[in-house]
Copies of this chain bind each other. A is one copy, B any other.
Amino acid sequence: MDSIGLLSSVLCKHWFHPPVVAIWTDGATLSAWSEVEVALAAAQAELGLIPADAAATIARRLEGVKLDPQRLAADIAHTMHPFVPVLHQLEELCGEPAAAYLHWGATTQNIFDTGAALQLKRSHALLLESIDQALAALATLARDHRDTPQAGRTHGQHALPITFGFKVAAWHAEMRRHRERLVSASHGAFIASMGGAVGAFAAMAGRGREVQALVAQRLGLESNELPVRCAYDHTAAYVSALAMMGSTVEKIAGEVFTLQRSEIAEVEEGFHRGKVGSSTMAQKRNPGLVMNLTGLSRLLRSRVPIALEAIVRHDEGDGASNNICDVTLPETVICAVSLAHGLARLAEGLVVDPAAMSRNLGRSGGLIVSEAVMMALAPHIGRHHAHKVLYDVAQDTAEGGGSFATRLRDHSLVQPLLDRLDIDVLLDPARYVGEAPDCVDDELAR
């Protein structure tokens, strides 16, 4: 078992959504590179820069290309170059004279960047698919629980009531915004770059920009507006957008983690017989998917500083940055798609317990709606004085125990107003959810 590493180890490779993994294997990467070489030759043939025959042979021979991995590994180590050994095998496959026209006027990083753009574009489609699946599941949850009262909490303490649908609608809104940002960041991020060694198309006989435009067109990419190799803002912006989406998934996972706590128990991630929580504590029903998503998001987020720092490049080309970007991008994208897909599964499988929500909401004996009382007092004694009243009564209750309602009624500023205030109604949390249900409707209508 020589398997090793985040994406390869049998211990963790199930964390990742298989279709996106398949886009980034070595085999798929080499295929993407071949597609780029084929498109380059075709474009150059079209413009008369290389013979049409050569381009045709290249296209035919590189279709479904398979290379010798052992030899490749050895040659890459020896040449200390990640592409020249690939190129040599491709030349052999093409044979003479076509081999002579392969990689014409290009440099390694052109092939790498354009190939990665192809892979990114394919991953992006999967990403949107998973986000849409998650949005649909969240929308269903929000709709179903539009009116399910639940304790709203701030800083770990009961704050005011909400509805569970309101909470989920906010998750939906955040994921929807990430989707918009990702689509926006994708523009200009999936680009064909054929500028050659320093980006100035030196070896393209003055027709480099045309060549690049044709390559882009053939591959379904945009043409890099100025293909210097020392620009990374396009990809960094996309990576940042991925990580921000991942952070929202982590937030939602964290909320489920909290709400699933033994003492709260308002929701539970999907469970199936056979899912094991512990090798020694048989009763455990852990939020395993939740923890997995939490971890993946942190892994993803830890890659952002690499991408941002990689904007800071030396010279017309900077191998140190290229190297680490080339190896970090796949795992970044794979984490992101797996996060979106995992959120869909989490939302689809979530078990919600409205009774537990109701039970928790009632625990504080009305303290959770102290604001309702304050706002009812405010027109009579002023908002600021009302806050003081509630503060005193609530803190007395917290310290001295007893009934909040009784202590309220006994307060000298409240007593005179009792005929105008129905304390019992004010202290019913289920009546004080504000515009939560309307907010759900608004969000679902967006």
Contact = CB atoms under 8 A, between A and B. Distances in A.
A157 B236 contact: no
A320 to B, nearest CB: 4
A8 B4 contact: yes
A181 interface: yes
Instruction: Identify the interface centre among A5, A76, A173: most chain B CB within 10 Å of its CB.
Output: A5
A363 B262 CA distance: 9
B10 A73 contact: yes
A319 to B, nearest CB: 4
A132 interface: no
A262 B311 contact: no
Contacts of A46: none
B295 A254 contact: no
A413 to B, nearest CB: 13
Instruction: Identify the interface centre among A78, A108, A274, A277: most chain B CB within 10 Å of its CB.
Output: A277
Contacts of A166: 199-200
Given A153-B316, A304-B308, A278 B26 contact: no
A16 B173 CA distance: 36
A279 B104 CA distance: 10
Instruction: Identify the interface centre among A80, A108, A309: most chain B CB within 10 Å of its CB.
Output: A80
Nearest to A76: B14
Given A12-B327, A279-B81, A250 B162 contact: no
A367 B79 CA distance: 20
Interface in A150-176: 151-162, 166-167, 169-170, 173-174
A258 B1 contact: no
Given A26-B2, A152-B316, A387 B254 contact: no
Given A261-B157, A302-B303, A237 B244 contact: yes
A280 B240 contact: no
Interface residues of A, number: 199
Given A384-B91, A446-B225, A155 B280 contact: no
Instruction: Identify the interface centre among A6, A10, A257: most chain B CB within 10 Å of its CB.
Output: A10
B159 A76 contact: no
Interface string A215-255: 00000000001101111011011001101100110110011
Interface string A421-446: 00000000000111110110011001
A41 to B, nearest CB: 11
Instruction: Identify the interface centre among A283, A286, A395: most chain B CB within 10 Å of its CB.
Output: A283
A340 to B, nearest CB: 15
B244 A233 contact: yes
19 contacts: A11-B326, A101-B382, A103-B280, A104-B383, A153-B314, A154-B316, A155-B257, A155-B288, A157-B287, A177-B234, A178-B233, A237-B244, A243-B308, A244-B311, A247-B308, A258-B261, A282-B393, A298-B320, A299-B327
Given A152-B200, A304-B308, 14 more contacts: A81-B276, A101-B383, A151-B262, A154-B229, A155-B315, A157-B286, A173-B225, A200-B439, A206-B434, A208-B434, A255-B315, A263-B363, A295-B323, A301-B305
